[in-house]
Amino acid sequence: MLTVEHLSKKIDRQTVLDGIDFSVEPGEIIALVGRNGAGKTTLLRTMVGIIRPDTGDVVYGKKSIFKDAGLKRDVIFVPDSADALKHYTVDEAVGLYESIYPSFSRSAFRETLTRYNIENKKIRQLSKGQKALVTLSLAFAVQAKYYLLDEPTDGLDVVAKSDVLKLMIAQVESRNCSIIVSSHQLHELERIADKVIMIETGRVKAIMSLEEARTSSVKWQVVFNDHVPVELLERKDIEIVSVTGRVVLFMAKERTEELEAFIDAHDPMLIEEIPMSLEDVFRVQLGGEAHAV
């Protein structure tokens, strides 16, 4: 099990990570979500020792990853671009990974390469989607236990995104490895993630399963007899999605009896509960624009 214990970090006197605690079980895919600047990338970089934390630890087995660098053979960080290996050809990158990671499986990597028809060129000459696939395939061919992926689908077209997601799912299914994936593509994460970690200004705001995430908040469409009551629109604990005539669509952080009673008191014609997407949960829990996440 990989455990993050009380991880804190200040950069330029600003708290970027503030007592982060969570653990990753084998075979889990965890979605790390948060607004821009929430600390997702810093958290992932800190977890593999790129950045040193001020306090806290990342423990794999019973050892600290900061004290035993060899543990990183099982905890692989994949950044959001293939910039690091841009001067390597695909074959050279394979050679490098093979020499760093004894567990690297050339055949597993070749299989992916053949499937996606990627040629042996300099990595910088590949398309963005191919770069992402090569970077991920290299990491997955290591056969490690844990993967920390920083926005792996950022900037990819729909086909490439789908390929990347398939690759991730295939790895977890075949090897029971764990993936922590930071992304702004919430609709993609909800297709693959078992658990969601919400980060807000360096703190873990919530850790929950996807199902819990969906049920923790509510999204209601209410049709009133007369008009949408102004008191409802002025409430601070809900987020109005749309108001069309007598119809209001809103989300609330929590399903409370008080809210239900409030709606009932205004004599609604119809109350319909709309299923929450991860994007809805994100908006209502962490605030802000969905597009800004």
Partner 1 sequence: MLSKVLLKKDWKQVSLLWILLVFLGVVAFTVPVWTQMQVYEEQIRNIQENPSDYLDVVQEDVETMNTEDFFNSNSDYGYLGGLEALIPMGVVLFLYVIFGALMASVLIGSERNSQMSDFSMSLPYTRTQLYISKWVIGITGIIATTLVGGTLMFLIIRLSDYSFLLEGNEMKVLGLILFLLLSGISFFSVSLWMGSFGGEAISQVVWTFVALVFPMGILLLIQGSLFAFSPNASYLFFEEAFESVPMRILSPLNNIINTDMYLIFDSRAEWTEFLTIGLSSPIIFIVLTFGLGLWMFKESPQENNGRFFMFSNWLWLIHIIIIICFAMFGGVFFSGIFYPQSVTLYLVGFVIGAFLAHLLAKRLLYRFNLKLKS
Residues that bind partner 1 (CB under 8 A): 9, 11-12, 16, 41-42, 45, 48-52, 69-73, 76-77, 79-81, 83-85, 87-88, 92, 96, 99-101
User: Is residue 286 within 8 Å of 293, Cβ to Cβ?
Assistant: yes
Q: In DSSP terms, which residues pair with 247 in a beta bridge?
A: 223, 244
Nearer to partner 1, 95 or 266 (CB): 95
Q: Which helix (H) or strand (E) holds 47?
A: helix 40-47
Q: How far is the CB of 107 from partner 1 (least distance, A)?
A: 21
Nearest residue (CB) to partner 1, 30 versus 93: 93
Sequence-distant (≥ 6) Cβ neighbours of residue 239 within 8 angstroms = 250, 251, 252, 283, 284
Closest separation between CB of residue 48 and partner 1, Å? 4
Give the angle 280-227-258 at the CA atoms, nearest 5°: 55
Residues paired with residue 248 on neighbouring β-strands, in sequence order? 222, 243
Nearer to partner 1, 50 or 170 (CB): 50
Q: In angstroms, what is the minimal distance from the CB of 69 to partner 1? A: 5
Nearer to partner 1, 37 or 264 (CB): 37
The smaller minimum CB distance to partner 1, of residues 15 and 216, is found at 15
Q: With respect to partner 1, which residue has the nearer C-beta, 34 or 229?
A: 34
Report the DSSP pairing between strands 29-34 and 55-60.
Answer: unpaired
Beta carbons of 220 and 274 less than 8 angstroms apart: yes
Round to whole Å and give the CA distance between 76 and 180. 10
Minimum distance between the CB of residue 75 and partner 1, rounded to whole angstroms?
9
Which two structure tokens, joined as six digits, stand for 177? 């490895």
Q: How far apart are CA 141 and CA 154, in angstroms?
A: 21
11 versus 270: smaller Cβ distance to partner 1 = 11
Least distance to partner 1, CB of residue 142, Å: 10
- What is the chain's alpha carbon radius of gyration, rounded to the nearest angstrom? 22
Contact 41, 150 (CB under 8 A): yes
- Extract the tokens encoding 91: 């074959």
Q: How far is the CB of 50 from partner 1 (least distance, A)?
A: 4
Minimum CB separation from partner 1 for residue 52, in Å?
7
